Amino acid sequence: MRREVIMSNELAGHKIAFLCKRGVEQPELTEPWKAVLEAGGQPVLVSEEAGTITAMIHDWDYGDDFTVDVTLDDAKPADYLALVLPGGTLNSDKIRTNEKAQDFVRAFVEDGKPVAPICHGAWIMIDAEVIAGRTLTSTPRIRKDLENAGATWVDEEFHRDGNLLSSRSPRDLDAFNRGIVEVFAEAASK
């Protein structure tokens, strides 16, 4: 069955930051990226260093290389409508300890902008200290980490808690993509 691509302009003129590094789970980067493009938005790959990052597929197989658009040194949260936090165990475990990445995430949360982690992507929110009192979903593998940081964890394919939009894994990408585009469009219309 061929998937019909429907282009819209809900996000026209708006940049969406994708924060990740080497080891990102490829479909958790590429599928939401495509959804943002199809909604007329401009996805931007933000990472620690210039150059390229190599994605992984299921944490075991090397995926494709992706060009970094802007480094954390130069990225300004004010330039973006929303933030996507793709998972991948290696990506998420490494980037969460970067203080600039923590500050970047914290700025979106404090400004009330949409933040969308999927799978392990929520790990950085623990280190940024912005997860207490929030409800979200993620891979069950980090459930206890989130709960220990003061969050409430739910087992849903997509969960919205105000500006926090989350999904469990790549198998939930259809629901995640629909949900984030809808909420990003709400933010764009304000």
Across the beta sheet with 70-71, what order do the strands follow?
70-71, 42-47, 15-19, 82-85, 115-117, 164-166, 159-161
Among all residues, which ones are annotated catalytic? Answer: 119-120
Q: Cβ(22)–Cβ(91) under 8 Å? A: yes
C-alpha dihedral, 126 to 103 to 120 to 24, nearest 10°: -160
